[in-house]
Amino acid sequence: MSKIKSIAIIIDGNRRWAVKNGLKKTEGHEYGLKKINKTISWIKEEGVENMTFYVFSTENWNRSKNEVNILMILFEKVFTEKIEEFMDMEVSIKFVGSIDKFSKKLQKIIKDTEEKTKHFKTKVFFAASYGGRAEIVDAVKNAGKDLTKKELEKMTEKKFESFLWTADIPDPEIIIRTGGNRRLSNFLLWKGAYSEIYFLNTLWPDFSKKLLGKILEHYYKKVKINKGK
């Protein structure tokens, strides 16, 4: 049986986890970002070479100014201080989304992180300032600019996909959402068309290697059963 090539995760529940544990809501985000690094190592151990984390949606810009500012500071901190960890794990970091909405400082940190890690085989994508609808609209606009009328008339799904922010992400076999909500929240609307979706009640900071193992075990069993029919 072929190995899973791509896993995507909607990280949800950071703020509720913080309240549950008597912490400030913003502290939940810090714990959530730390959990991402652990999860990268667990997924990599399973031989999965592509993983995508939904860390900040286009809708998240509508949160309080204070919370957004704290999140931006956390992003700057993580991708400055944790670069050596990413290098040690031998993972290539790539951001997908409306990155131009971030501060110039954060954009530079993002660019530097991508450049320093680009040669590694295992790819880790961070969907940041990302929204599936915005991605598709942007792809339509770019296709209209770059292609002739005749080329547009002959447009294929494969060609259109090349204009997506997520063009380099293999379609995920599995999408995991923590936090108890049972929706995709505008995540990978194109790429996730045929993904198996696992909704967990577990809040993101409590996500564990054991839970990941159960999901993979269930997926492989299901694939094996379906192939046997």
Tens-place pLDDT, residues 65-90: 988 998 999 999 888 888 888 999 99
Higher pLDDT, 224 or 202: 202
Domain ranges across the chain: 6-228
Catalytic residues: 12, 60
Q: What is the mean pLDDT of residues 42-69?
A: 94
Sheet strand arrangement including 50-57: 91-96, 122-130, 50-57, 6-10, 174-177, 196-199
Helical axes 209-228 vs 25-45, angle rounded to 10°:
50
Burial class (CB within 10 angstroms; exposed 0-12, middle 13-18, buried 19+) of 189: middle
Mean pLDDT over all residues of the chain? 94
What is the reported pLDDT for 1? Answer: 53
What DSSP string runs through 63-101?
S-HHHHHHHHHHHHHHHHHSHHHHHHHTEEEEEES-GGG
Q: Is the pLDDT of residue 208 over 60?
A: yes
**Does domain 6-228 sit in CATH 2.60.120.10?**
no
